[in-house]
Structure 1
Amino acid sequence: MTAPMTARLAPLAALLALSGSALAEAPDPVAVTVTDKGCEPASLTVPAGKSVFRIRNQSRRVLEWEILQGTLIVEERENIIPGFVQTLTATLQPGTYAMTCGLLSNPKGTLTVLAAAGTEAAGGPPDPMALVGPLAAYKHYVAGQVGLFVERTRAFTEAVKAGRIAEAKALYATARQPYERIEPVASLFNDLDKSMDVRADDFEQKEADPGFIGFHRIEKGLWADHSTEGLGPHADRLMADAEELKRRITDLTIPPAKMVGGAAGLIEEVAATKISGEEDRYSRTDLSDFHANVEGSRKIYDLLRPLVERQDPDFVARTDRNFARVEALLTKYRSEDGSFAPYDRLSDRDRQALKGPITVLAEDLSTLRGKLGLD
């Protein structure tokens, strides 16, 4: 391998080595409760290394709990149902982090990670070079998709600003597709993800909240209000955010665990929340988002497939079948021009028929990180 190539791969190898360290037994779970007003406690302190967080949702809405370093999402647990508890295992370096605490209008919590002896593990990391190839290929895929996202978002926002409602409606779903394919990476940037893809339910005042912006605010204007009045500033902000996302991704070294975990994360989100129709509630273009999520997950899986097949060929055969089944179900609702049927045309029985296979696929893909030594 040439010296320049070695230098380019060094950040990936370092990340892989870090991901494979700290394999010792985790300490007792750290409890945190999220209410309608915030986190209890609002401040946590843990030692460096592996920690297990036990998150209880005592609010009235499904939520995600995130650990942030600046605007970058370090770890997250999504789709925690009211009244339920989920755990999150995170290997953290010393420093000060933020915690999201339910509604975006709620104050963030503080997580302090202290340097401590004995946090390094006895186990060895996975071979760093085994994942370098898939990571490089995925970075190339993400770069292509974010470029397409910027291009399509520009066409969409120009139609919105020009008041061409029919054209804007036609461009809405296709503009979102590249973003949905690379959501594991795009959503690493907490500020941009919340700006572009926030839903009204994330705010106490819902649609009336001034923080409700981005795709879904414009979607509401086009389908619910039947007007582009007042959408110009939202369109400009969305376009600026798309370009900023492209800039940040150019300089990003994708964390291995985020890529691998993203295969399951994309499908889990569909099964847990999107299947209800809460995503594109005004346009009913949900199936387009579902399909893009499946495409993005499939891309990650295909890149990792040769590594997993060596140790678990039965898993690969089963996952291949599960992907084929989900893709076949989605194809039933797709017309010859590539568009999908409005989601409100599907019956409850149709939605349940989708949810079963999607849930099974998500459960299998959730084991990928463990199979590759990244848990």
Structure 2
Amino acid sequence: MRTSRFVVPAAAGLLAVAGLAGCGGGDKKDAKDRPIEVKATDTVCEVAVTEVEAGQVAFAITNSGSKVNEFYVYGAGDRVMGEVENIAPGLSRELRVELSAGTYETACKPGMIGRGIRGALKVTGNAPSVAPDAALAEATASYQRYVKSQTDALLTKTEEFVAAVKAGDVAKAKALYPVARTYWERIEPVAESFGDLDPKIDGREEVIEEGMEFTGFHRLEKDLWTTGDISKDGPIADQLLVDVTELVARANAEKLTPLQLANGAKALLDEVASGKITGEEERYSHTDLWDFNANLEGSKAAIAALRPALEQRAPELVKQLDTEFANAEAALGRHRAGDGWKLHTQLSEAELKELSDSINALAEPVSKVAAVVAR
């Protein structure tokens, strides 16, 4: 099993906002007009407008590329105001978000990786002030929307992974394994709160010593990467899907407090330090950097959900958090490999130390967030 982690808000408002990317006109868009068209490919993200009125705004995203795509609207500190994931090639999806006046960014993420193809979005109109308690209430609501988006993707990708295992397609199963686990890693603090499901889904081989059966993701990981024989793994794969389906239902019903968000953000960084840097987590596949990235994204998301309250209560801490998150992302970004990441075994001791140092530096300001939230 592993320690908890967190994730964060997917939509700090439920509907609305605006323009993206590579091309795109600058005409102002009234919030009550037809959806703003977003044309996404593997290399371009064109948003029809880059300025909108505050309020409800709809985006109609069409993926004309060859890779699965995502579309995001970000607030300050990469706070996710709204997102649509798993837009398959040739398909269109709609996103509605509600934004107050301010500056934002839109982003398409071909292959569902990296920072994406970003563009500026300006939202005009009156921006009412938010009371501190209201900001914390919105943080938890926003985070719950994020959990919903991540669990939806987790279930979809687990279904694809299970199908590949049952079909005996080792290559496809290996490719899907770290992708499915990305969504798990982002929300594990929620998942781990269900003590009966966490070891079944995410337990490592040590669970045998605790009298439990070795099942779930890591059992399939072991078979895929050690022997390549998954001919008898159909029942294990089926049970994984049953367990993930139950976890998704429970996670979406779970209600968290602002303090749990703050503690979860720190727990995710602890998870990086204890399992990802050491290579212990993905000991057979060595895909630890996929998990590292997901943990980092999850921690940042939790902090982003809390950002409006933190800006009111501890603005200097927000600046420090922004700096250290950027430093950690830069350190990790040096180990990209195509649409994914280098294997843990490909990193030198010096590179692993650099990553460890960046996480330790980030953990220091993140550890102060809970006290600020608890004021």
TM-score, normalised to structure 2, is 0.63
Q: Output aligned runs, 1:132-211, within 5 Å.
A: 132-204=137-209, 211=213
Equivalent position amino acid for 1:184 in 2:
P
CA distance in 2, matches of 1:284, 1:194: 20
Q: Deviations over 1:230-277 (max 9, x none)?
A: 211110111001110111123221233222211111011111332100
Corresponding residue number in structure 1 for 2:136: 131
Q: 328, 334, 346: which one pairs with 2:336?
A: 334
Q: 224, 247, 251: which one pairs with 1:249?
A: 251
Higher relative contact order (CA 8 A, sep 6+): 2
Residue 233 (str. 1) matches residue 235 (str. 2): yes
| Secondary structure at 2:259 match in 1 | helix
CA distance in 1, matches of 2:313, 2:248: 36
Q: Report if aligned partners of 1:264, 1:363 keep a CA contact under 8 Å in 2.
A: no
Corresponding residue number in structure 2 for 1:360: 361
Corresponding residue number in structure 2 for 1:8: none
Deviation at 1:292, TM superposition (A): 0.5
| Secondary structure at 2:341 match in 1 | coil
Residue 221 (str. 1) matches residue 226 (str. 2): no
Corresponding residue number in structure 2 for 1:348: 349
Deviation at 1:311, TM superposition (A): 2.5
Q: Deviations over 1:264-307 (max 9, x none)?
A: 11011111332100000100100000001111111111111221
CA distance in 1, matches of 2:132, 2:322: 25
Q: Report if aligned partners of 1:265, 1:362 keep a CA contact under 8 Å in 2.
A: no
Equivalent position amino acid for 1:189 in 2:
F
Q: Output aligned runs, 1:99-114, within 5 Å.
A: none
Q: Report if aligned partners of 2:258, 2:306 keep a CA contact under 8 Å in 1.
A: no
Deviation at 1:185, TM superposition (A): 1.1
Please report the RMSD computed on the Cα atoms of aligned residues, expressed in angstroms: 1.7
CA distance in 1, matches of 2:213, 2:365: 36
Corresponding residue number in structure 2 for 1:312: 314
| Secondary structure at 2:196 match in 1 | helix
Deviation at 1:130, TM superposition (A): 3.3
Unaligned residue ranges in structure 2 (runs of 5+): 1-130
| Secondary structure at 2:231 match in 1 | coil
Corresponding residue number in structure 2 for 1:123: none
Equivalent position amino acid for 2:356 in 1:
K
Q: Report if aligned partners of 1:319, 1:364 keep a CA contact under 8 Å in 2.
A: yes
Q: Deviations over 1:299-346 (max 9, x none)?
A: 11111122112232221111111100111111111133x210111000
CA distance in 2, matches of 1:317, 1:245: 35
Greater Cα offset, 314-323 or 288-297: 314-323
Deviation at 1:211, TM superposition (A): 1.2
Q: Deviations over 1:196-222 (max 9, x none)?
A: 1101134328xxx76111100000000
Q: Deviations over 1:117-169 (max 9, x none)?
A: xxxxxxxxx96433110100100010010000000000001100110000100
Q: Deviations over 1:15-35 (max 9, x none)?
A: xxxxxxxxxxxxxxxxxxxxx
Unaligned residue ranges in structure 1 (runs of 5+): 1-125
Corresponding residue number in structure 2 for 1:302: 304
Q: Deviations over 1:166-207 (max 9, x none)?
A: 0100100001001111111111111111111101134328xx
Corresponding residue number in structure 2 for 1:89: none
CA distance in 2, matches of 1:365, 1:210: 34
Q: Deviations over 1:40-71 (max 9, x none)?
A: xxxxxxxxxxxxxxxxxxxxxxxxxxxxxxxx
- Figure out how many residues of one structure are paired with residues of the other and give that number: 245
Q: Deviations over 1:62-97 (max 9, x none)?
A: xxxxxxxxxxxxxxxxxxxxxxxxxxxxxxxxxxxx
CA distance in 1, matches of 2:252, 2:317: 34
CA distance in 2, matches of 1:172, 1:164: 12
Q: 285, 288, 302: which one pairs with 1:286?
A: 288
Greater Cα offset, 301-310 or 316-325: 301-310
Corresponding residue number in structure 2 for 1:51: none
Equivalent position amino acid for 1:373 in 2:
A
Q: Report if aligned partners of 1:277, 1:284 keep a CA contact under 8 Å in 2.
A: yes
CA distance in 1, matches of 2:293, 2:254: 26
Q: 1:311 to 1:154 in 2, by over 3 A?
A: same
| Secondary structure at 1:284 match in 2 | coil
Q: Report if aligned partners of 2:207, 2:213 keep a CA contact under 8 Å in 1.
A: no
Q: 1:306 to 1:130 in 2, by over 3 A?
A: closer
CA distance in 2, matches of 1:142, 1:308: 21
CA distance in 1, matches of 2:223, 2:282: 13
CA distance in 2, matches of 1:352, 1:265: 20
